[in-house]
Structure 1
Amino acid sequence: MSVLSILRERGFIEATTHAQELEDYLENNRATCYIGFDPTASSLHVGSLVCIMALAHMQREGHRPIGLVGGGTGLIGDPSGKTELRKVLTQDQIDENKAGIREQLSRFIDFSEEKALMLDNAAWLTNLGYISFLRDIGRHFSINKMIKAESVKSRMESDDGLTFIEFNYMLLQAYDFMELAKTHDCLLQMGGSDQWGNIVAGIDLVRRTLGKQAFGITFPLITTASGIKMGKTHKGAVWLDPERFSPYEYYQFWVNTDDMDVARFLALFTFLPMKEIEVVKKLEGVDLNKAKTILAYEATKIAHGEGEARKSLKAAASMFGSIEVPSDLLSSASIPRGMLSFGGDESLPTSTFNKGDAVDKMFVVDLFCDAGLCKSKSDARRLIKQGGAYINGERLDSFDQIVTDADVKDDEILLRAGKKKYHKIILK
């Protein structure tokens, strides 16, 4: 099965250019492909996983992926899919963000021995001469075509409009494609559906300047069964950086997958065989929950390593009781099998407080806020009113309750918000 067929079967592909020619190219060549990552934060998040996993599949099928960090274009900002002007970052901020992105991509893709490349478009974009760029590159672009691109059109129709700086982004991304085609024989660009116009512009520029046929693949915007954009939670983005979003929280994010999304997310976010995933589509109730456990384990293993996946599984079992993982369910997964029951909860999100600052002084609503279980005091009060706030398993019923010695067990306090969100407080 070709890599294009694998990506299509697993739900990655929304559109391609030159479908048959692309199929032939991937079947008969060790192709080099790339996806750009905008360095607007020091961590990627779950919303970037489709792109990252697509690059990983390309590598697993013998092709060479390029992760292109937009150190140059990041100084401008991509208007694609945005409704307002993006904040301009400093060079120091971009350099810090690039370092974090490099580290995270390395968990999914093998960069050793040039099996994959990590490049930064600042290497060529920041040295461009404006007059020569207009003369050699700008002349290939039609304003009439550019304003028809959805990414440009949506910004022009917004209240803030589209700045001239952002309008240049399409030219710069097309230049990236041309540069990679020229220096690394990279003839395939992939990206989200909002990148279609930019990708097509790059294909056209490669043809006009280098006389080469280039290709494009776009991925659909992934939403949950409830219509929410993938990766959004009550705490904000689901970051891949374990310092921003712990491996246990990451594990719990996947465990809480909607029933209707389990098989689809197994296909997109794990490497388990589709033949095994097809069986999951027929499961219901308790059996489907077991599949969620495997999804959570595999996704955590890929992003944070087998050790963190096992610790998260152990912590979940200690919190929620024994977990059964049948040997015949998604049998290619490396999760421990059988009836699993562990003690200990070392993977739980944890904070350390000074005991003298907390006991007999701190309101429980503040404790829930400081632990990140609630966004604000009003959010904490609402949780308590709805009966969803617990300390050491005991439901809270008062907004004005202060932390006391009775709430402390072995210098620890276990907080719970709702059914599945825990946080451990260590008092010193």
Structure 2
Amino acid sequence: MNIVDELKWRGAVNQTTDEQDLRALTDEKKIGLYCGVDPTGDSLHIGHLIPFMMLKRFQLQGHHPVIVIGGGTGAIGDPSGKNSERVLQTMDQVQHNKEALTAQMENLFGTDNFRIVDNYDWLSKLSLLDFLRDYGKLFNVNTMLNKEVVATRLEVGISFTEFTYQILQSIDYLHLYQHEDVQLQVGGADQWGNITAGIDLIHKIEGADARAHALTIPLMLKADGTKFGKTAGGAIWLDPEKTTPYEFYQFWINQDDRDVIKYLKYFTFLSEDEIKALQQEVNNQPEKRVAQRRLAQEVTKFVHGKQAVIEAEHITQALFSGEVADLSVDEIEQGFKNMPSVQVNGETKNIVLWLVDDTKIEPSRRQAREDVKNGAIRINGEKITDLEADINPADHFDGKFVIVRRGKKKYFLVRINK
């Protein structure tokens, strides 16, 4: 199947400049293509992942993806679509973010048949006069004003700096066309104006018959109409320090039945037959959530590796069953990151006094005694019914944690001060 046809089956094509020629071009040769990301932060989130999944699909078919880390444009800031200017970052911030994003991209794409470049390398060499004479002269202000990303800002105002961002992005495309044999730029739906401006620049300098293409991806909305990737807790990051692999896995496994097949098409490399089989599972046995689990496995493996999937499923099963004693210290850090926690000293103490005086898990000694006698308290997965039992924090988890479960589902993580 031609890569363009595969992307259309997956629902991943919003607009193309010349679909027929792009299909012909990708049949003729293995093309270079690119997507850019500015280092405005030190991690990508799953919203960023969408266009890079497209590049990965091209890579798997033998094409040559190039990623532009915008060390130059990131120092300027693109029009955000919000009614305000971006706050300019220091060059030290840009450099730190660039290094972090580069590491994430190398993790996703490997090192074969793939390049990361920094547009600072060519944009920083432009003098003001060169910029105005060689490029500014080729851009019509009226046309630039009609680009959606600019037009939406005209009422509240836009600085000259952000206004000229589309020229810089166009220069990127021209540079990659000339030096990296790139003939396709991929981006989100909101990037259409900037990408086509780059194609126009290529045609003006290289000739009208230059084969340069644009492909944008639809804005992804959930079945309830809200924007994909946003949760009550904030963005879902690719950085495991910001969003643990367990949290990442849980995000995907909790997707709505109405969305899961769409996400399997977008975010996994499963075949059409495999996804059709999962669609049948959703139709016939939705309560088993087979499709959601496969989605969580595939995306977590792609971003964090196979071991992260094993750990995420181990944590999930342990929390569901209550058998937490076999969790590792790292798994506890992941699984209990957002659960209620308290810090206590590490001395051995009677369970009732410990639950009330030290951890404040129980509101009173009377309630603590009642819960212990009724079997409602589990310490590190073990039910405790003896009111004379002692809690020794050194017994498990290298003396760093005690896991308390009160009732069927209420967990507390007790961190032990050293």
Query: TM-score per shorter chain, which class?
Result: 0.7 to 0.9
- Cα distance, 1:230 vs structure 2: 1.7
In the alignment, which of 124, 140, 143 is matched to residue 142 of structure 1? 140
* 1:199 partnered with 2:195: yes
- Cα distance, 1:227 vs structure 2: 1.9
CA distance in 2, matches of 1:288, 1:81: 40
Check 1:235–1:176 CA distance in 2 against 1; reply closer, same or farther (3 A cut).
Answer: same
Matches within 5 A, 1:400-415: 411-414=401-404
One-letter amino acid of the structure 2 residue matched with residue 23 of structure 1: R
CA distance in 1, matches of 2:141, 2:346: 63
Determine if contact 2:145/2:151 at 8 Å carries over to the other structure. yes
TM-score by length of 2: 0.81
CA distance in 1, matches of 2:55, 2:405: 39
| Secondary structure of 1:412's aligned partner | strand
One-letter amino acid of the structure 1 residue matched with residue 235 of structure 2: A
- Cα distance, 1:131 vs structure 2: 1.0
Q: What is the match of residue 86 of structure 2?
A: 86
Q: What is the match of residue 345 of structure 1?
A: 327
CA distance in 1, matches of 2:405, 2:220: 32
Determine if contact 1:314/1:344 at 8 Å carries over to the other structure. no
CA distance in 1, matches of 2:227, 2:193: 22
Matches within 5 A, 1:172-183: 172-183=168-179
Cα-to-partner distance string for 1:264-297 (whole Å, 9 max, x where unaligned): 1111111111211123333245455122111111
Q: Based on CA coordinates, which of the two structures has the bigger radius of gyration? A: 2
Q: What is the match of residue 21 of structure 2?
A: 21
Which range is displaced more, 343-352 or 228-237? 343-352
Number of residues of Structure 1 aligned to a counterpart in Structure 2: 369
Determine if contact 1:315/1:344 at 8 Å carries over to the other structure. no
Determine if contact 2:10/2:265 at 8 Å carries over to the other structure. yes
Matches within 5 A, 1:198-347: 198-211=194-207, 212-282=210-280, 283-284=282-283, 285-286=285-286, 289-321=289-321, 344-346=326-328, 347=331
Q: What is the match of residue 46 of structure 1?
A: 46
CA distance in 2, matches of 1:423, 1:49: 33
Determine if contact 1:391/1:407 at 8 Å carries over to the other structure. no
| Secondary structure of 2:87's aligned partner | coil
Q: CA RMSD in A?
A: 2.9
Q: What is the match of residue 31 of structure 1?
A: 31
Check 1:36–1:229 CA distance in 2 against 1; reply closer, same or farther (3 A cut).
Answer: same
TM-score by length of 1: 0.79
Which range is displaced more, 83-92 or 32-41? 83-92
Cα-to-partner distance string for 1:330-383 (whole Å, 9 max, x where unaligned): xxxxxxxxxxx997334342569652399747767xxxxxxxxxxxxxxxxxxx
CA distance in 2, matches of 1:317, 1:362: 26
Check 1:13–1:425 CA distance in 2 against 1; reply closer, same or farther (3 A cut).
Answer: farther
Cα-to-partner distance string for 1:228-273 (whole Å, 9 max, x where unaligned): 2221122211000001110000000001101101111111111111
Check 1:259–1:344 CA distance in 2 against 1; reply closer, same or farther (3 A cut).
Answer: farther
CA distance in 2, matches of 1:202, 1:288: 48
Determine if contact 2:359/2:414 at 8 Å carries over to the other structure. no
Q: What is the match of residue 170 of structure 1?
A: 166
| Secondary structure of 2:131's aligned partner | helix
CA distance in 2, matches of 1:97, 1:71: 9
- Cα distance, 1:35 vs structure 2: 0.2
Determine if contact 1:206/1:213 at 8 Å carries over to the other structure. no
| Secondary structure of 2:11's aligned partner | coil
One-letter amino acid of the structure 1 residue matched with residue 183 of structure 2: L
Check 1:406–1:106 CA distance in 2 against 1; reply closer, same or farther (3 A cut).
Answer: same
Determine if contact 1:80/1:152 at 8 Å carries over to the other structure. no
Runs of 5+ in structure 1 lacking a partner? 323-340, 365-389, 394-404
- Cα distance, 1:406 vs structure 2: 8.5
